[in-house]
């Protein structure tokens, strides 16, 4: 993983938005990921506030960059050897102006305040873009689920929920999964919430098992949605995915289903990775085998190459050195830097869409846009997951269950609408084809208008 290398000097921002960024730097020292996410949004929305100065009144920007509430708590649990372990839990409730706080939980050793705040801040805009009436939040822990037994995972999740439950609820805050939090963890977390509160409150968690309140397509939604977004970007330019070599990083939830949808649309995904390195398979990824290795057996990615003659494992390196036309970073933040972008541009990449949250460093985004490569930021491209979570909330509230086909149609329609919103806003604010500016401006206007309507609170 790379670190931020470009300057985050407030002077690089238009004067109108500088005070909000200065407040972020002052209040959140040593939090580079959060600074990076705020800087990108403030730089993007400058054309909106220049044209509509009323958005600078009532401290809209200063309020937007300050979470409504931040919860940090101790998570003690007992490992299989009878030793007490202590982790730190987080929930940052960033904005509820458009609906209950909504955003995933991440269990990964790299989790800290900066990571959770960057993700929570991004989530405000992503959720606004979905137009599903959901606010922004994020949470997690520095707990590492790798190599832990099911019993250890369960005890950790129960301890985590022993504190978090009091801050959740279907009308208050609705978590979901993220890195390290999949079906198993969501089951344990939901079970403990039910036990403590004596309420089977389906709408307080999304990503549940389909047998107990979960929605069809939620598992697939983020990966599918990312590929749908690429399909839209290409379609408005009379291009298609068919036959194109697709580079995917990661091999978790988002990556697996991005590969699945790309294959269904006749593209050729040829890579997958994890933190140990990547595999490249010129015959095209064998998805059943990849799921067997990563989802069922929870093994390292090299095992895929051990079992597949057409594939090879490249340790300790990133997939971006492989030639391809479509790049889908689906692992984690800051996994694609300026050098990676240059390599992709040299090899003829046509479109990049972020399945992960903020996987591209600012210099990589700049390089893609300068080279005329279509670039979809995560807050638009990967919003299919949270949009389908909102569909899960609707089904829970109405005590309904929609079919897979129906849910997928709705997801597809939402991705088309988000593409349209970002595309139109980019043109409207003088930067046609710039989906970063388009997504940020379209989302900002929705959030800011609601904040103005609801008063200074």
Q: Give the residues lining the site for ligand NDP (CB under 6 A).
A: 1, 110, 177-180, 182, 222, 250-255, 274-275, 330-332, 355-357, 382, 385
Candidates 328, 349, 358, 308; CA nearest to 249 is 328
Task: Provide the minimum distance between the beta carbon of 224 and ligand NDP in the complex, in angstroms, as a whole number.
Answer: 10
Annotated catalytic residue within 102, 126, 138, 294: 138
156-160 contacts at long range (C-beta below 8 A, 24 or more positions apart): 156/75, 156/77, 156/85, 156/87, 156/107, 157/185, 157/188, 157/189, 157/192, 158/77, 158/188, 158/191, 158/192, 159/75, 159/76, 159/77, 160/75, 160/89, 160/189
Lay out the sheet containing 311-315: strands in order across: 271-274, 277-281, 311-315
Of 61 and 189, which CB lies nearer to ligand NDP in the complex structure?
A: 189
Cα–Cα distance measured from residue 139 to residue 103, given in angstroms and rounded to the nearest whole number: 7
Candidates 322, 379, 324; CA nearest to 353 is 379
Rounded to 10°, the helix 18-27/32-51 angle is 160
Alpha helices in 170-296 (DSSP H): 183-197, 218-235, 253-264, 287-291
Task: Identify whether 195 is a catalytic site residue.
Answer: no
Cα–Cα distance measured from residue 224 to residue 23, given in angstroms and rounded to the nearest whole number: 37
Task: Provide the minimum distance between the beta carbon of 239 and ligand NDP in the complex, in angstroms, as a whole number.
Answer: 25
Are 356 and 382 in contact, with CB atoms under 8 Å apart?
Answer: yes
Of 137 and 355, which CB lies nearer to ligand NDP in the complex structure?
A: 355
Are 228 and 258 in contact, with CB atoms under 8 Å apart?
Answer: no
Task: Provide the minimum distance between the beta carbon of 242 and ligand NDP in the complex, in angstroms, as a whole number.
Answer: 25
Of 252 and 377, which CB lies nearer to ligand NDP in the complex structure?
A: 252
Candidates 256, 314, 317; CA nearest to 285 is 256
Of 203 and 329, which CB lies nearer to ligand NDP in the complex structure?
A: 329
Of 31 and 122, which CB lies nearer to ligand NDP in the complex structure?
A: 122
Task: Provide the minimum distance between the beta carbon of 11 and ligand NDP in the complex, in angstroms, as a whole number.
Answer: 30
Are 75 and 156 in contact, with CB atoms under 8 Å apart?
Answer: yes
Task: Provide the minimum distance between the beta carbon of 30 and ligand NDP in the complex, in angstroms, as a whole number.
Answer: 19
Candidates 60, 128, 120; CA nearest to 99 is 128
Of 70 and 110, which CB lies nearer to ligand NDP in the complex structure?
A: 110
Task: Provide the minimum distance between the beta carbon of 143 and ligand NDP in the complex, in angstroms, as a whole number.
Answer: 13
| Residues noted as catalytic | 138
């Amino acid at each position: 993983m790379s670190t931020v290398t470009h300057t985050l000097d407030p002077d690089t921002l238009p004067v109108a938005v500088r005070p909000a960024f200065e407040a972020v730097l002052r209040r959140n020292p040593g939090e580079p990921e959060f600074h990076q996410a705020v800087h990108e949004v403030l730089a993007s929305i400058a054309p909106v506030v220049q044209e509509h100065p009323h958005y600078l009144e009532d401290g809209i920007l200063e309020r937007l960059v300050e979470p409504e509430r931040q919860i940090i708590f101790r998570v003690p649990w007992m490992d299989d050897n009878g030793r007490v372990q202590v982790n730190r839990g987080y929930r940052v409730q960033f904005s509820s102006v458009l609906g209950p706080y909504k955003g995933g939980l991440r269990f990964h050793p790299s989790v800290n305040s900066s990571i959770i705040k960057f993700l929570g801040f991004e989530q405000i805009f992503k959720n606004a873009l979905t137009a599903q009436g959901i606010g922004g939040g994020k949470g997690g822990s520095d707990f590492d689920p790798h190599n832990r037994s099911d019993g250890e995972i369960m005890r950790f999740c129960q301890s985590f929920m022993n504190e978090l439950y009091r801050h959740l609820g279907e009308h208050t805050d609705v978590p979901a999964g993220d890195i390290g939090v999949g079906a198993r963890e969501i089951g344990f977390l939901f079970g403990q919430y039910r036990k403590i509160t004596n309420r089977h409150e389906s709408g307080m968690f999304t990503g549940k098992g389909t047998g107990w309140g979960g929605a069809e397509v939620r598992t697939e939604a983020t990966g599918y949605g990312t590929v749908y977004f690429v399909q839209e970007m290409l379609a408005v330019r009379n291009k298609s995915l068919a036959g194109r070599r697709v580079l995917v990083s990661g091999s978790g939830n988002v990556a697996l289903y991005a590969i699945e949808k790309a294959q269904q649309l006749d593209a050729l995904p040829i890579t997958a990775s994890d933190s140990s390195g990547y595999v490249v398979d010129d015959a095209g990824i064998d998805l059943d085998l990849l799921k067997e290795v990563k989802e069922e057996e929870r093994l390292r990615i090299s095992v895929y190459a051990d079992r597949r003659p057409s594939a090879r494992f490249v340790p300790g390196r990133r997939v971006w050195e492989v030639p391809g036309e479509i790049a889908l970073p689906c692992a984690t933040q800051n996994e694609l830097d300026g050098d990676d972008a240059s390599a992709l541009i040299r090899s003829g990449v046509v479109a990049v869409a972020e399945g992960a949250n903020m996987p591209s460093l600012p210099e990589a985004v700049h390089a893609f846009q300068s080279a005329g490569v279509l670039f979809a930021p995560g807050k638009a491209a990967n919003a299919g997951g949270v949009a389908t979570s909102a569909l899960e909330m609707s089904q829970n509230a109405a005590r309904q269950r929609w079919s897979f086909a129906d849910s997928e149609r709705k997801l597809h329609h939402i991705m088309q609408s988000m593409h349209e919103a970002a595309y139109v806003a980019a043109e409207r604010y003088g930067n046609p084809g710039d989906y970063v500016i388009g997504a940020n401006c379209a989302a900002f206007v929705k959030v800011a208008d609601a904040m103005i309507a609801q008063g200074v609170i």
